[in-house]
Chain A
Amino acid sequence: MLRYILGRIVQMVVTLWVIATITFLMMKAIPGDPFSSDKKLPEEVLHNLRAYYHLDEPVSVQYLVYMKDLLTFDLGFSIKDQTRTVNDIIADGFPVSAQLGAQALVVAIIAGVILGAVAALRQNRLTDYAAMVMAVLGISIPSFVLAPLLQKYLGVEWELLPVARWEGFTSTIMPTITLAALPLATITRLMRASMVEVLTQDYIRTARAKGLPPGRVILRHTLRNSILPVVTILGPISVGVLTGSFVIENIFSMPGIGRYFVDSISNRDYPMIMGITLFYSALLIFVNFLVDLAYGWIDPRIQITKKGER
């Protein structure tokens, strides 16, 4: 087990290093630098700025400087917002993004598992069809279509919820719904499919035959066995929630990292783009690692250490 974890950690570090290197090289491959568009600046100032950010040195030196800073978790200064470091901005924005993401994940997992389970128990009946129609819609409607719809009806027409901005819990409801829609639909479908399969297993019949109350059969025997596919996609789902948050935070004017990321892209603020990409990648890689460890805990039959392939 320890060997497996160590191996995975080495692999995670290598992946991060590859991401950092690729990102760095791509940033350097673009002609011009962040200051070439600011024509107002005098030549000396530009020169000093470039020297300050090591932009006047060869790429190899810049790479080493960046990697050295990375080892101490220093992501450098934002070029457009020069009073703050990228670390500051991430520290400011992350709580907002994390709260939205966590709320969306919790809603998606709980509602998705329940909906999927109910659909499977009422297979081929009206409830099942209703749940499945919802799931297909959830997968087909992109968040940036759903968000304006919600804003229009819940926000503008019926005035139930604030249209945008970060003002207390009520303002997080709409972004949470939009973020949760896709993972909710995915989980519902997966849960239904695996539950339908588990319900036909012999051990369920045994449990029923020995007279267990239906609630107990479902909770103890069916749910636990059919939840595994849901766990396996928690990794990809968190990725989806994270990337979804770029758009959602923009539409709802939330002060999260996603919005800074989109801003930094249009400003070509390279330290910011790199910093946030690395931060997100590290987060996602870590989440995937946790998910892999969770398999073994949920289903003791799976021995992650012995598996040749994921």
Chain B
Amino acid sequence: MEPATDQTRFLPSVRSRTELEKISRPHTTYWQDVWRRLRKNILAMTGLVLILLIALMSIFGPMISPYDYSDQNLKDGINLEPSGEHWFGTDDLGRDVFVRVCEGGRISLTIGLMAALIDLLIGVIYGGIAGYRGGRTDEVMMRIVDILWGLPYLLTVILLMVVMPPGLGTIILALTVTGWLNMARLVRGQVLQLKEQEFVLAARTLGAGTKRILFKHLIPNAMGPIIIMLTLTVPSAIFAEAFLSFLGLGVQAPIASWGTMINDSLITILSGEWWRLFFPSLFLCITMLAFNALGDGLRDALDPKMRK
């Protein structure tokens, strides 16, 4: 016969009610989760750090430097090589390249951020209303978007810059005239998808108004794609500004912009003052790279499909 089973192995476990109710792990919100995933992404974090460094340099660079972006130092000659005195050298008008690169950074970052914020504001309101109202309103609002969508982005911007007085405000305005369309389409799509869900019905049953449902329930839930779009709008706005300045339609001299600096220094390919072309190009590329890397990282961190 078989030996009797060891009875002690099958004791019922003692579990109290309070223990069952205990939360075993600390609760992580969606955004903590996103941040945790983003932090693991080396490329995206490098991008974030680079953006912060460039921002700090642009803000404090001109403050610590003894020169101003339009100061001309002609007594030692022009086109000075980089040295302890002029970190990035000077240009053909004897202006300090380091301060001008910082100044260009201020302009690029301002334009990038402002354009993205205005796009966000208009796009979210327009797309939100179109998506939430639906029906006739949506039809008309989206037909307008479709027609504007046909306008080539940079061509429109160039045209606007031709007819409007030059200046920073004009550039931002020109970039946002058609820039918000992307955001509006995205938000509308998201809202259309989300508004059929139960939590919206619940909110409406509880008596929430349109504005509350839109801004407290629908938009926060669409925040992921919106943020991705934002981080990708910034580099395209920065590129557009550099492009315009390169064509001579951007900021006006003596204000420095990376685009104008690159355009002004194209002749140095033959004459050999490499620092005049190198530094603005380098910073423009790093900034674009950093925002693109961060945007990619955010896309991976925010997209639930990428969750493993």
Chain A residues within 8 Å of B286, by CB: 140
Task: Tell me, rounded to whole Å, the shortest Cβ–Cβ distance linking B155 to chain A.
Answer: 6
**Smallest CB gap from B148: residue in A:** A18
Once A15-B147, A280-B152 are accepted as A-B contacts, the answer to whether A266 and B248 lie under 8 Å apart by CB is yes
* Chain A window 260-290, contacts with chain B (Cβ cutoff 8 Å), 1 for yes, 0 for no: 0010011010000100010011001100100
* Chain A window 131-145, contacts with chain B (Cβ cutoff 8 Å), 1 for yes, 0 for no: 000001101111011
Give the residues from 109 to 147 in chain B that come closer than 8 angstroms, CB to CB, to chain A.
142, 146-147
Chain A residues within 8 Å of B162, by CB: 26, 30, 265, 268, 273
Among the stretches A37-45, A102-110, A239-247, the one at the interface with B is A239-247
Check B69 for interface membership: any CB of A closer than 8 A: no
Taken together as a complex, chains A and B put the C-alpha atoms of A23 and B162 apart, in Å, by 11
User: Which of these, B152, B163, B247, contacts A30 with CB under 8 Å?
Assistant: B163
Most buried by A among B142, B150, B151, B235: B150
User: Which of these, B239, B247, B289, B292, contacts A265 with CB under 8 Å?
Assistant: B247
Task: Tell me, rounded to whole Å, the shortest Cβ–Cβ distance linking B267 to chain A.
Answer: 10
Check B67 for interface membership: any CB of A closer than 8 A: no
Contact B289 A140 (CB under 8 A): yes
Contact A145 B150 (CB under 8 A): no
Contact B155 A277 (CB under 8 A): yes
Contact B246 A18 (CB under 8 A): no
Q: Is the interface of B mostly helix, strand, loop or mixed?
A: helix
Contact A151 B155 (CB under 8 A): no
Taken together as a complex, chains A and B put the C-alpha atoms of A29 and B288 apart, in Å, by 35
* Chain A window 278-310, contacts with chain B (Cβ cutoff 8 Å), 1 for yes, 0 for no: 001100110010000000000000000000011
Contact A26 B152 (CB under 8 A): no
Contact B159 A145 (CB under 8 A): no
Interface size class of A (residues with CB under 8 A): 35 or more
Check B249 for interface membership: any CB of A closer than 8 A: yes
- Count how many pairs of residues, one from A and one from B, have CB atoms less than 8 Å apart in the complex: 106
Check A93 for interface membership: any CB of B closer than 8 A: no
Chain B residues within 8 Å of A137, by CB: 289
User: Which of these, B146, B160, B263, contacts A144 with CB under 8 Å?
Assistant: B263
Check A121 for interface membership: any CB of B closer than 8 A: no
Check A9 for interface membership: any CB of B closer than 8 A: no
Check B158 for interface membership: any CB of A closer than 8 A: yes
Once A140-B292, A156-B269, A273-B162 are accepted as A-B contacts, the answer to whether A243 and B247 lie under 8 Å apart by CB is no
**Smallest CB gap from B282: residue in A:** A145
Give the residues from 242 to 260 in chain B that come closer than 8 angstroms, CB to CB, to chain A.
242-243, 246-249, 259
Q: Is the interface of A mostly helix, strand, loop or mixed?
A: helix
Check B63 for interface membership: any CB of A closer than 8 A: no
Contact B247 A262 (CB under 8 A): yes
Check A229 for interface membership: any CB of B closer than 8 A: no
User: Which of these, B150, B246, B269, contacts A19 with CB under 8 Å?
Assistant: B150
Check A122 for interface membership: any CB of B closer than 8 A: no
Chain A residues within 8 Å of B235, by CB: 140
Taken together as a complex, chains A and B put the C-alpha atoms of A261 and B286 apart, in Å, by 30
Taken together as a complex, chains A and B put the C-alpha atoms of A27 and B277 apart, in Å, by 35
Check A251 for interface membership: any CB of B closer than 8 A: yes
* Chain B window 256-294, contacts with chain A (Cβ cutoff 8 Å), 1 for yes, 0 for no: 000100110010011000000100010011101100110
Once A142-B239, A145-B262, A145-B281 are accepted as A-B contacts, the answer to whether A136 and B150 lie under 8 Å apart by CB is no
Taken together as a complex, chains A and B put the C-alpha atoms of A151 and B162 apart, in Å, by 29
Chain A residues within 8 Å of B155, by CB: 243, 277, 280-281
Check B154 for interface membership: any CB of A closer than 8 A: yes
10 A/B residue pairs, CB under 8 Å, sorted by A: A16-B150, A22-B151, A136-B289, A139-B288, A145-B262, A148-B269, A239-B152, A243-B152, A265-B247, A284-B152
Q: Kindly list the 5 A-B residue pairs having the minimum CB-CB distance in the complex, ordered from nearest.
A: A15-B150, A140-B289, A140-B288, A243-B154, A145-B281
Q: Which residues of A contact B (CB under 8 A)?
A: 11-12, 14-16, 18-19, 22-23, 26-27, 29-30, 136-137, 139-142, 144-145, 148-149, 151-152, 156, 239, 242-243, 246-247, 250-251, 262, 265-266, 268, 273, 277, 280-281, 284-285, 288, 309-310
Given contacts A142-B242, A288-B150, 20 further A-B contacts (CB under 8 A): A15-B147, A15-B150, A18-B150, A26-B160, A30-B162, A140-B235, A142-B243, A142-B288, A144-B259, A145-B281, A145-B284, A149-B281, A239-B152, A239-B153, A247-B247, A265-B158, A273-B162, A277-B155, A280-B155, A310-B146
